[in-house]
Amino acid sequence: VQLQASGGGLVQAGGSLRLSCAASGRTLSRYFMGWFRQAPGKEREFVAGIGWSGGSTGLAASVKGRFNISRDNAQNTVFLQMNSLKPEDTAVYYCAAAEAIATMAAYYDYWGQGTLVTVSS
């Protein structure tokens, strides 16, 4: 499956962005989907994950209450709604697909190219 992330940009602290991850090649409903981010000089970290039907989700503690992950299998797309953004949210955001529930990057088989989110103070 090929993944294409989009929706990043420059936003002021307290603002919102909605990231999208469009899949092609295979139906997205086959995969557990995750969003990761990587800030300069830091390791890639798990942000959010969502189950195959969208009924179960998980968020990293650092974004809980501010971010929300959702999916539309009919559109083969996964979303990350980011609210109350902080400068420390600045990173390249990646979507990824896994065969099983996972929060570690090593367990994801397919990755999008990343989209840059910059939050100014």
Q: Is 90 exceeded by the pLDDT of residue 27?
A: no
Mean pLDDT over all residues of the chain? 96
- For residue range 43-73, what is the model confidence (pLDDT) as tens digits? 999 999 999 988 899 999 999 999 999 999 9
- pLDDT value at position 95? 98
Place of tokens 């300069």: 40
User: Residue 56's closest CA among 40, 24, 28, 34?
Assistant: 34
How do 77-82 and 45-50 pair as beta strands?
A: unpaired
Query: Of 55 and 101, which is predicted with more confidence?
Result: 101
25 to each of 47, 63, 93, 99, 113, how far by Cα in Å? 25, 31, 21, 15, 16
38 to each of 42, 55, 74, how far by Cα in Å? 6, 26, 29
Q: Is 90 exceeded by the pLDDT of residue 99?
A: yes
Rounded to whole angstroms, how far apart are CA atoms 51 and 102? 10
